[in-house]
Structure 1
Amino acid sequence: MSQLITTPRLVEAGTSNTSHIGKPTSRVEGPAKVTGTAKYSAEFNVPDMLYGYVVTSPITKGRITKINTEPVLALAGVVQIFSHENVPSLAWFDRSYKDDVAPGGSPFRPLHDNEIKFNMQPVALVVAETFEVARYAASVLEIEYAEDKFDTNIDLKRDEGHEPGSGKTGFMPPPPPRGNPNDALKNATHRIEGEYIHGAQHHNPMEMFATTVEYHPDGKITAYDKTQGVYNVQQYITKIFGLSKDQARVVNHYMGGGFGSGLRPQYQVFLAVLAALELKQSVRVSLTRQQMFSFGHRPHTLQYLKMGTNPDGTLAALHHHALHETSRFEEYTENVVNWSGMLYQCENVKLGYQVAELDVYTPLDMRAPGAATGSFGLEVAMDEMAYAAGIDPLDFRIRNYAEQDQNMKKPFSSKKLRECYHEGATRFGWDKRTPEPRSMREGNQLIGWGMAGGVWDASMQKAAAKATFTADGKLLVQSAAGENGTGTYTIMTQIAAETLGLPIEAVTFELGDTNMPEAPVQGGSWTAASVGSAVKNVCTDIGEKLLKLAQKMEGSPLKGASIDDVHFADGQIRLSANPSEAVVVRDILAASGEEKLEAETSAMPNLIKQQPYSMHSHNAVFAEVRVDEDLGTVHVTRVVNAVAAGRILNTKTARSQVLGSVVWGISMALMEETVMDHTFGRYMNHNYAEYHIPVNADIHDIDVIFVEEEDDKVNPLGVKGIGEVGMLGVAAAITNAVYHATGKRVRELPIYMDKLL
């Protein structure tokens, strides 16, 4: 071996070009997505594949009395029809199994029996040689039903005594009342009360749910499934079908939007695996856009708020109660009201929630679950209270600023909401606002300015990662995390590259495969903190191994140095005290004779360090609307969203997350609602044509501000999630702006023009 290789190359220190965290880095998977080489779950074409098409129930409650399969099975190309009449006995049918994010109760079991629990329930799967034949065969399959009375209307549950759910969804129930909220409200100087409502909303990601199951000759399967958690789906499959983990691999490399809809395994994965195992052949099951409305949604929620102030404008009392729907078979409960006991300083608070069992499918976490609903009610009520007290809405919030979490009686690990107010208001020009409703206009356009705030949990879950460094200077990092468009590929690549001082091009991050180290479902805005910490840890382990090998090199300047004495930059290990003393990383394996270095490790929250604190992200939103005085049409012309979310790993992808959150907030305020016809118990606008979401013409100026915030308690990276918090306050700020423009207080979303005329 030559002296050139065995002797460390000494290089002059310069400015590092391998500092990546915090920079606006473009998506590393971008080229794959725009060129079409990125494969989604319905795009894995395997040999001899069959196609399944789901048949759904046209009734809401009752029983299947007859399925006439013979004429359909006689059609050319039809292979099999699966229904409750021929599904084999499966391991999970004792109802003991739940997936990782299932609420309390008994999960829905497709094709288990003849009972119909909700409209559009899957009742059969037609499997054929082509998708077109399967679709046609499903359309002519005759099924007879006996229909029972059903109840889908939460409005009729207002006066019934519904107890809160079991709390098995992982959310803490509301804290007990504090102070004397009833007397404080009675004696308040100013009081308001109101009911705040939004209907059911469905996730509607662009990519519909699909599962391609590849059946292998040895009886094993690989399921390419649309999911936000491959390990959760694997656990689901293995428990139900009695398989080992080696027999059921689950893969999801790319996801065309999830927003929470992919947290739970959806019924198409069950149907696809069932068909593949029974037919011993590869099978794909894809849902239609209409069928995307047959599972999971943000629940129709009714909120009741009462507030009162002291003479100085501080809150004297706050009451917040919520009632939302759940299914007959599961006790889904959202954390709607807890935020109200935390966001503002108030000594007298009463919080409560109830759930109403209806003949609908179980609701499901949807971007900022609970908080998006609760922040709408709270922040519109705060605006009403500010007007009643004669105080500017921004000044009113600052006057009632909470310095600690009053629910938990803990200080915040960090909180820069006051800075969000200040920076957002300055950028928006809030000081130019005239307070009186209908006081700002241009021609027949009434102009309104409104604002609101939000708070979301900053949490971390256990996650693991594996890293492999090879002699060519390349680094491969793997974790079974999810990527539903948030930028996971990119920020994990940045963390790995910076930890080992490598250029982005030298690092490959792979995710979404149960053959990789386990990671939590991608939800709750915890992926960056959880998987990112694991990636940092495993790359640090590789760095320690490289340092040990470097110290064995002839003439090494790193002899005797600990990992704390060095840093990695520009492909080198440098002595921090004297950066000119360095070893080129690519030389290390060549000198040692090793082909590669491997490490695998995990990261988990430091509960001892975190326990004394309440950990959250915060934001403040300022919105401008223009309302046509004659027509009542509303356009959101300007939004400023100031977010305090700890360390920002990538300002480009982070900004993209908040932009998407604001668009969704506009959608929630003005357009989005799944309309139930209670005569049929069926969602009537279950398509993209009538379930309204924004188009380009609806979106104007959106300005995102990231407020600097350091937090060494939340996790080793100091990051907090932004995907959820960015949506909070948007719908409320728009609603408040509409009041400022028109003088009409709307408490029910969405704000259609008829509510303003």
Structure 2
Amino acid sequence: MFGFGEDNVTLTMDKPQPVSRLDTTVQGLVGTGVERVDGPAKVSGRATYAAEYRIDDVAYGVLVGAGIGKGKVVSIDADAVKSLPGVIDVVTDYDTFIRVSQQGGETEAPTQGVRDVEYFGEIVAIVLGETYEAARDAALRLPIDYETEEGVFAFSMEAERDGDLPPNNTPAQSAQGDVEAAMAKAAVTIDATYTTPSQNSAAMEPHASLAMWGEDGSLTLYGAYQMPTSDAQQLADALGLSKSKVRIVSRYIGGGFGSKLGIAPESVAAAVAAKRLGRPVKAVMMRQQVFDATVRRSNTSQRMRLAATADGRLTAIGHETTASNLSTEDYFEPAGISTHFLYAGENRLISHDLVRVNWLLSGSMRAPGEAVGLLGLECAMDELAEALALDPIELRIRNDPGRDPEKDVPFSSRALKEALRHGADHFGWDRRQAAGTRREGDWLVGMGVASAARANILMKGSAKVALDPDGTATVTSAMTDIGTGSYTILAQIAADMLGLPLDRVRVELGDTNHVPSGGSGGSWGAASSGSAVYLAAQALRAKLAKAMGVEEEELTLKDGQAIGANRQVALAELLDGKPIEAVGTIDKGAQEKLTTQASYGAHFAEVAVDVVTGEVRVRRMLGVFAAGRILNQQTARSQCLGGMTFGIGGALHEELMHDARTGKLVNRDLAEYHVPVNADVPDLEVIFLPERDIHANPIHAKGIGELGICGAGAAVANAIYNATGVRIRDFPITLDKLLPHLPAM
């Protein structure tokens, strides 16, 4: 449904959009590998991140975390450090400090009050100094007395489930048919449990906020946040302000991966401290505090049950997940989110449960659900293929459903089979040998495959496009660029739609003074904000066509020229000194329920395992993906490469370790929390299959940012099995787990 105002256009996705103007523009920028327009600013240091704004008279704040895992703060002796050189104040305002960060998109104030400590490292104070060093010194010395209580720090994922299925946009449980009966009757079954540990987003940029108050009682906060529009509402509610009084500026973000979806402790702490001091306050988390007090991906225990006929037709799928979180939180890791629709099977059970623990809050981390859920599902599919003596790719293709097996609605577009087949041909899958049979000296070599799927999401958002009298365009929105390429993609869309060279389009993002946006997260950013820019530019095209005296379909815009009715006019001349602008807004509609929308792909990995040391080397990986229209080949490829690297980390390296006595994270920096580095990342190749999705949005694109991680780790794990004949179900697959099972020299 379209809605027009004088200078805006709104599209609600109630119907398919079979015609896209991007298919008839003549410049052809969209879909090419345009280099990042923000690249020069970043590599030269001119891109300003949250902690880098130069504000006069700024005070420095250092956060203080609780030194117990469960209990109460009895007293904080602020006077003991106020006399130290350069120390200004200590703020311990229990009624205002944010206790835990919320998930992105929330509009209610986060839970508050830090007198009660729920986990080790929970922020209880902020120390303010004239220099960062003075504040840090005082923060380390700040005396705090606690009353400790018994907490849940070591636990059994199965024995201590609370049975209280939490509310969430994703159904916690769904059932269809009778899985137990199908398992009993099946020719072949798999019943295995896969476990994954807690993980940290480990973004390069630490969480940071710089808060300053205006004379009118308004707050401006320069922060590292992925969703400024909803984050401003959270911050306003936390501080008891109207949203109109809060401005968040987040122009550049050095990675978020979910940890910056909602506001984190330093934002409210900086704002409260700035209010008290009457001067700006900058609070930047130390790396250890980022680990201690932002958000973790939950650990999971996933029971996978598969039942199949002798010829490999699935008759049942069971995916039962237990995750963990604080007693005050409802979020759960939706590990079964893709299991709902990835494969056929008439009997289905997908459930999620929680164990309540005194560990750091768990929340969204890149590809929440699929990143760990496909480790379970895709490894179980590999085990089923082995039990059936069937090629793993053939098993997946035989169980590719024609319609959503639970909702009984069509897929908006689905190219999983094509991705599997194309990848198999390109990767040389026909050279794969039986498990444990290929050896090169001390190295056992094998190949693995896994499907990739990531639900497509459309988020309501707006963008303003303005054409100035000189024929240049400006795109503005509260949308953010978290390193994914938003600045470039939005410039490409505006340039193509308006027939402008790319250097005549300016993009301004990450400011809540601009029109609202859903921000970056959930792989919805490019398609949602890109659709908003498309709609605004379409409205401007209509105005330009009217000025030319032609129908919009008869207007050609190219190289800053308007062409129609046998004449060619420069845009600057056509505007005649008068700027024009329009706001485009995209919103979800009936298509979300009438179709199942997702991006798909296939991962292929080749690994070598040293029989002496158990060391695993990933030799090469291939990802084949279909995600609607690819808006920028270069930025999309970079996203997939990053996701595949995430997958390597999940399979082989990443694991947060909690002290069983206090819940404290013991590997809380990038020296001891191991993420893949250059030596771990082999030859990675990405291939995009041509696709359009007319049900998703008017630009026919689907989310791709998180698709690259979905299934990537499972392909590595399956390759390790093929190399060694050893199946490890407890991730990450470290050498100590492999060594006892490897063959003798």
TM-score range, shorter chain: over 0.9
- Kindly report which structure 2 residues correspond to 1:380-419, keeping only aligned pairs within 5 A, or say none: 380-419=379-418
Is 1:239 aligned with 2:237?
A: yes
> Secondary structure at 1:135's aligned position in 2?
helix
Partner of 1:585: 571
**Amino acid in structure 1 at the alignment position of 2:383:** E
Q: Does structure 1 residue 30 correspond to structure 2 residue 39?
A: yes
Q: Which residue of 2 aligns with 1:566?
A: 555
Contact 2:110 2:238 in 1 (8 A): no
1:519 — aligned with what?
A: 517
1:139 paired residue number: 140
Q: Secondary structure of the equivalent of 2:359?
A: coil
| Cα deviation code 1:457-498 (max 9, x no counterpart) | 112111111122112111001010011000000000000000
Question: Judging changes above 3 Å, is the alpha-carbon distance between structure 1 residues 296 and 165 closer, same or farther for their aligned structure 2 residues?
Answer: farther
The aligned residue for residue 270 of structure 2 is 272
Q: 2:329 corresponds to which residue? A: 330
- Separation in 2 of the partners of 1:543 and 1:649? 20
User: Is the partner of 2:448 in helix, strand or coil?
Assistant: strand
Counting only pairs closer than 5 Å after superposition, residues 157-176 of structure 1 correspond to structure 2 as 157-168=157-168, 170-176=169-175
Q: Which residue of 1 aligns with 2:647?
A: 665
**2:221 counterpart (220, 223, 230):** 223
Contact kept, 8 Å, 1:107 with 1:330, in 2: the verdict is: no
Task: After TM superposition, give the deviation of residue 334 of structure 1 in Å.
Answer: 2.6
Match of 2:247 in 1: 249
Partner Cα distance (2:37, 2:170) in 1: 35
Residue 167 of structure 2 aligns with an amino acid whose one-letter code is G
Give the TM-score taking structure 1 as reference length: 0.91
The structural deviation recorded for 1:107 is 4.0
Alpha-carbon shift at residue 401 of structure 1 (Å): 1.4
Name the CA shift for 1:189/1:99 in 2 (closer, same or farther; >3 Å): closer
Number of matched pairs = 715
Residue 496 of structure 2 aligns to a residue whose secondary structure is helix
1:100-499 equivalences under 5 Å are: 101-102=105-106, 107-109=110-112, 112-154=113-155, 156-168=156-168, 170-176=169-175, 178-293=176-291, 294-434=293-433, 436-499=434-497
1:610 Cα offset (Å): 4.4
Farther-moved stretch of structure 1 (481-490 vs 349-358): 349-358
Return the letter of the residue paired with 1:732: A
Matched, 1:676 2:658: yes
Do the aligned partners of residues 673 and 418 (structure 1) sit closer, same or farther apart at CA in structure 2, a change above 3 Å counting? same
CA distance in 1, matches of 2:563, 2:198: 57
Q: Which residue of 1 aligns with 2:14?
A: none
Deviation at 1:247, TM superposition (A): 3.1
Q: Which amino acid aligns with 1:28?
A: V
Maintained 8 Å contact 1:327/1:358: yes
Q: How far does residue 164 in structure 1 lie from its aligned partner after superposition?
A: 4.4
What is aligned with 2:19?
Answer: none
For residues 499 and 353 of structure 1, what CA distance do their matches in structure 2 show? 45
Cα deviation, residue 189, structure 1: 1.1
Shift of 1:90: 5.4
1:709-741 Cα deviation digits (max 9, x unpaired): 121111000000111111111110100000111
CA contact (8 A) 1:92 1:239 kept: no
Using the alignment, how far apart are the partners of 1:468 and 1:730 within structure 2? 41
CA–CA distance in structure 2, aligned partners of residues 655 and 523 of structure 1 = 18
**TM-superposed deviation, 1:215:** 3.4
Q: Show the counterpart of 1:75.
A: 84
- Relative to the length of structure 2, the TM-score reads 0.93
Whether contact under 8 Å (2:473, 2:505) holds in the other structure is yes
- 2:711 corresponds to: 729
Residues 376 and 100 of structure 1: is their aligned pair in 2 closer, same or farther, counting only changes over 3 Å? closer
Do the aligned residues in 2 keep the contact of 1:91 with 1:242 (CA within 8 Å)? no
**Cα 1:541–1:173 shift into 2, 3 Å:** same
What is the one-letter code of the residue matched to 2:500?
L
* 1:547 shift after superposition: 2.3
Q: Cα 1:183–1:103, aligned 2, differ >3 Å: closer, same or farther?
A: farther
- 1:597 corresponds in structure 2 to 580
Aligned residue in 1 for 2:6 = none
Superposition RMSD in Å: 2.0
Once the 2 structures are TM-superposed, how far is the Cα of residue 101 of structure 1 from its aligned partner? 3.4
Against the structure 1 CA distance between its residues 277 and 410, is the aligned structure 2 distance closer, same or farther, given a 3 Å change threshold? same
Contact 1:103 1:331 in 2 (8 A): no
Whether the 8 Å CA contact 1:99–1:235 is kept in 2: the answer is: no
CA displacement at 1:546 relative to structure 2: 2.1
SS at match of 2:339: helix
Does the residue aligned with 2:338 lie in a helix, a strand or coil? helix
1:685 aligns with 2:685: no
How much has 1:175 moved relative to structure 2?
2.3
Q: Does 1:755 align with 2:743?
A: no
Are residues 516 and 102 of structure 1, via their aligned partners in 2, closer, same or farther at CA, if it must alter by over 3 Å?
closer
For each residue in 1:195-223, what CA deviation from the matched residue of structure 2 results, as whole angstroms up to 9, or x when unmatched? 10011001110000000113334443321
Q: Which residue number corresponds to residue 12 of structure 1?
A: none
The question of whether the paired residues in 1 share the 8 Å contact of 2:446 and 2:607 is answered with yes
Shift in Å at residue 589 of structure 1? 1.8
- Distance in 1, matches of 2:257 and 2:219, equals 27
Map 1:678-717 onto structure 2 (within 5 A): 678-717=660-699
Give, in angstroms, the shift of residue 162 of structure 1: 2.6
Identity value in percent: 37
Partner in structure 1 of residue 21 of structure 2: none
* Cα pair 1:482 1:511 within 8 Å, conserved: yes
Tell me what 2:12 maps to: none
When structure 1 is superposed on structure 2, of 467-476 and 30-39 the one drifting more is: 467-476
What CA distance in whole angstroms lies between the structure 1 residues aligned with 2:646 and 2:161? 33
Partner Cα distance (1:314, 1:540) in 2: 48
Q: Assess, with a 3 A threshold, how the Cα gap between structure 1 residues 118 and 92 changes in structure 2: closer, same or farther.
A: closer
State the shift of 1:100 in Å: 5.4
- The SS at the match of 1:676 is coil
Counterparts of 2:69 and 2:273 in 1: how far apart (Å)?
A: 26
Deviation at 1:241, TM superposition (A): 2.0
Find 2:547's aligned residue among 543, 546, 549: 549
Return the letter of the residue paired with 1:425.
A
Tell me the amino acid that sits aligned with residue 587 of structure 1: E
8 A contact 1:225–1:252 mirrored in 2:
yes
Gaps of 5+ in 1: 1-14, 551-558
1:377 Cα shift? 0.2
Cα distance in 2, alignment partners of residues 44 and 338 from structure 1: 40
Distance 2:103 2:33 in 1: 37
Q: Is the 8 A contact 2:462 2:532 kept in 1?
A: yes
Deviates more, 1:361-370 or 1:159-168: 159-168
C-alpha distance in 2 between matches for 1:745 and 1:699: 22
Q: Tell me the distance in 2 between the aligned counterparts of 1:232 and 1:604.
A: 16
Unaligned runs of 5+ in 2: 1-23, 740-745
Tell me which amino acid in the other structure corresponds to 2:42. K
Give the secondary-structure state (helix, strand or coil) at the position aligned to 2:192: strand
Partner AA of 1:151 in structure 2:
V
Q: Please, which moves more after superposition, 179-188 or 619-628?
A: 179-188
Q: Give the Cα separation in 1 of the matches to 2:383 and 2:678.
A: 32
Residues 161 and 354 of structure 2 are in contact (CA less than 8 Å); yes or no, is this contact kept in structure 1?
A: no
In structure 1, give the amino acid aligned to 2:159: D
Contact persistence 2:534–2:584 (CA under 8 A): no
Amino acid paired to 2:219:
I
1:64 aligns with 2:68: no
Deviation at 1:382, TM superposition (A): 0.4
Q: What is the deviation of 1:707?
A: 0.9
Assess if the C-alpha contact under 8 Å between 1:171 and 1:334 holds in 2. Answer: no
Please give the alpha-carbon distance, in whole angstroms, between the structure 2 residues aligned to 1:208 and 1:113.
22
